[in-house]
């Protein structure tokens, strides 16, 4: 029988009534003739509760035990859904990550999937099982310890199962009915996209769109897994949601597909750094070791052998970044005259594979921001993306202006 993967997020399984609704949706697909692998998240709020409990045990907790605790919430959801499906007359079984097994590396709390052998589930499907309910977000390390994939990891679990079992499609059920041109809470003109290319979705996810976890999109693009993002609260239909697919599956791409934003960014500048070979490595090496996620990087033109180095980072990592670079200066690895941190900025980006064949996108973007009196602090570009760093107080205005400029409401 053909295989289908269905993933349900925390709000979709928040209580028993919603789990019953999920069971009915799964039953519809079983009736169509699919063997279904359902990947479930923890019930809404449960993971945060468990994380809080772990934090209360002490500041320096064992990451292996952290994974053992926080992964347990998915087990509850999987068991409850399997029981509900059985009550509906469907042969279903719940599976924890180690039972499948979902084989990962040993990076606790941020593990990566190495392989998912299909033998165990295939054998049960041959014996008449119609639905395998898999606890998302979790796996097993080479040492036999439970691991977790990081927050949002159930999306990655679902895509990995779709690839491993050659599923016809991977449906990601959330509390939104698809991928929008931007956040509808920012502008009422935002429109749902029928289709979006993997590359566009990857950029949007990495730039702040919360619909899909970045790693899940990377995996889907690598293994050509068709993703459909849809709401578990809307009526089912064959054309519901947004299909994330190959560029070749989209008849004609728009120049810009969407506007993404990341609200809580910071800008840090090292003033008057020695301009010499290896200085960038000396700065960003310690930042990487401190776990700081550096994004946009700009180096000014050098004068008299000195230069300024500016980069962006999440605002909650500023303290770690400051300590890392000051420690590096204390070790005489780098030298700078001053360190300036601006914690009041946001990142706004336009994304679209149509940029490859259309000139003038940057000019239109900058003109639109200028017309609203918005000053650009930092600019970075790629083949299908332009990102700017601006004052946070102008973020929503910038998103609305860019959405209007590129007429995304007409997509």
Q: Are residues 278 and 391 in the same domain?
A: yes
Q: Are residues 23 and 149 in the same domain?
A: yes
| E strand segments, 78-137 | 92-95, 103-104, 113-115, 131-135
State the CATH number of the domain containing residue 294.
Answer: 3.30.2130.10
Helix H or strand E segment including 273: strand 258-274
Q: Are residues 295 and 154 in the same domain?
A: no
Scored b (16 or more CB within 10 A) or e, 347-381 reads bbbbbbbbbeeeeebeebbeebbeeeebeebbebe
| Structure confidence at residue 129 (pLDDT) | 97
Q: Are residues 170 and 22 in the same domain?
A: yes
Q: Are residues 265 and 376 in the same domain?
A: yes
State the CATH number of the domain containing residue 162.
Answer: 3.40.1160.10
Token code pair at residue 122? 């295939």
Residue 137 CA: distances (Å) to CA of 41, 96, 115, 170, 172:
7, 10, 14, 16, 14
Sign of CA dihedral 30, 248, 246, 205: negative
Q: Is 260 helix (H, G, I), strand (E, B) or coil?
A: strand
pLDDT digits (tens, 9 = 90+) for 273-293: 988 888 899 999 999 999 899
Q: Are residues 286 and 389 in the same domain?
A: yes
Q: Is residue 11 in a domain?
A: yes
Cα 280 to chain centroid, rounded: 28
Nearest residue to 233 (alpha-carbon basis) of 9, 38, 39: 9
365 in Cβ contact with 259 (< 8 Å): no
pLDDT, mean of residues 196-208: 85
pLDDT, mean of residues 339-360: 92
Nearest residue to 186 (alpha-carbon basis) of 406, 380, 384, 398: 398
pLDDT digits (tens, 9 = 90+) for 10-68: 999 999 999 999 999 999 999 999 999 999 999 999 999 999 999 999 878 899 999 99
Higher pLDDT, 241 or 8: 8
pLDDT, mean of residues 171-183: 89
pLDDT digits (tens, 9 = 90+) for 291-310: 899 999 998 877 778 899 99
Q: Is residue 45 in a domain?
A: yes
DSSP 376: P
Q: How many CB atoms are closer than 10 A to CB 32? A: 11
Q: Are residues 267 and 146 in the same domain?
A: no
| Structure confidence at residue 108 (pLDDT) | 93
Q: Are residues 165 and 265 in the same domain?
A: no
Nearest residue to 43 (alpha-carbon basis) of 75, 77, 18: 77
The domain in which residue 105 lies consists of 3-175
Q: Are residues 397 and 300 in the same domain?
A: yes
Report the number of distinct structural domains present in the chain. 2
Q: Is 218 helix (H, G, I), strand (E, B) or coil?
A: helix
Q: Is residue 291 in a domain?
A: yes
Q: Are residues 12 and 144 in the same domain?
A: yes
Q: Is 150 helix (H, G, I), strand (E, B) or coil?
A: coil
Token code pair at residue 354? 């149509």
| Structure confidence at residue 274 (pLDDT) | 87
Q: Are residues 8 and 114 in the same domain?
A: yes
Helix H or strand E segment including 258: strand 258-274
Q: End of a domain among 175, 202, 229?
A: 175
Phi/psi for 245 (5° steps) reads -150, -175
| Structure confidence at residue 236 (pLDDT) | 72
Residues in the chain: 411
Q: Are residues 21 and 137 in the same domain?
A: yes
Q: End of a domain among 122, 151, 175?
A: 175
Q: End of a domain among 143, 175, 207?
A: 175
Q: What percent of the chain has pLDDT over 90?
A: 76
Q: Is residue 246 in a domain?
A: no
Which alpha helices (DSSP H) does 12-112 contain, by range?
16-31, 46-57, 63-70, 72-87
Helix H or strand E segment including 368: helix 361-371
Q: How many CB atoms are closer than 10 A to CB 346? A: 24
Q: What percent of the chain has pLDDT over 70?
A: 98
Assess whether pLDDT exceeds 80 at residue 366.
Answer: yes
Residue 66 CA: distances (Å) to CA of 20, 43, 166, 200, 276:
30, 18, 32, 34, 43
pLDDT, mean of residues 261-266: 94
Q: Is residue 184 in a domain?
A: no
Assess whether pLDDT exceeds 80 at residue 187.
Answer: yes
d(CA 100, CA 94) in angstroms, rounded, equals: 10
pLDDT, mean of residues 92-117: 96
Q: Is residue 207 in a domain?
A: no
Q: Is residue 214 in a domain?
A: no
Mean pLDDT (the chain) is 92
DSSP 1: -
Q: Is residue 141 in a domain?
A: yes
DSSP 256: -
| Structure confidence at residue 124 (pLDDT) | 97
């Amino acid at each position: 029988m053909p295989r289908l993967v269905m993933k349900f997020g925390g709000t979709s399984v928040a209580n028993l009534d919603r789990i019953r609704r999920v069971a009915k949706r799964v039953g519809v697909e079983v009736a169509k003739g699919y063997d279904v692998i359902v990947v479930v998240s923890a019930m809404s709020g449960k993971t945060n509760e468990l994380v809080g409990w772990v934090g209360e045990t002490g500041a320096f907790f064992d990451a292996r035990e952290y994974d053992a605790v926080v992964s347990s919430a998915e087990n509850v959801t999987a068991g409850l859904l399997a029981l509900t499906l059985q009550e509906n007359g469907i042969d279903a079984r719940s599976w924890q990550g180690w039972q499948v097994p979902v084989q990962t590396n040993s990076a606790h709390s941020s593990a990566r999937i190495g392989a998912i052998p299909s033998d165990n589930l295939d054998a049960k499907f041959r014996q008449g099982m119609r639905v395998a309910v898999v606890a998302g977000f979790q796996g097993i390390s080479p040492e036999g310890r439970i691991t977790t994939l990081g927050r949002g990891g159930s999306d990655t679990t679902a895509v990995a199962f779709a690839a491993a079992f050659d599923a016809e499609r991977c449906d990601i059920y959330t509390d939104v009915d698809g991928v929008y041109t931007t956040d509808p809470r920012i502008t009422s003109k935002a429109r749902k996209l029928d289709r979006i290319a993997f590359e566009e979705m990857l950029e949007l996810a990495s730039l702040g769109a919360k619909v899909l976890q970045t790693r899940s999109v990377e995996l889907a693009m690598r293994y050509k897994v068709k993703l459909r993002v849809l709401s578990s609260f809307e009526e089912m239909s064959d054309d519901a949601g947004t299909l994330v697919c190959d560029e070749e599956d989209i008849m004609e791409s728009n120049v810009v597909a969407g506007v993404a934003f990341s609200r809580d960014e910071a800008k840090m500048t090292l003033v008057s750094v020695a301009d010499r070979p290896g200085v960038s490595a000396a700065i960003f090496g310690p930042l990487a070791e401190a776990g700081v996620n550096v994004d946009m990087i700009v180096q000014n033109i050098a004068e008299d052998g000195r230069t300024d180095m500016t980069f962006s980072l999440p605002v909650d990592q500023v303290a770690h970044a400051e300590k890392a670079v000051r420690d590096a200066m204390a070790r005489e690895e780098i030298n700078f005259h001053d360190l300036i941190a601006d914690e009041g900025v946001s990142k706004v980006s336009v994304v679209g594979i149509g940029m490859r064949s259309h000139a003038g996108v940057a000019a239109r973007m900058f003109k639109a921001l200028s017309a609203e009196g918005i000053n650009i602090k930092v600019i970075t570009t790629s083949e299908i993306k332009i990102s700017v760093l601006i004052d946070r107080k102008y973020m929503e205005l910038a998103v609305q202006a860019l959405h209007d400029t590129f007429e995304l409401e007409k997509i």
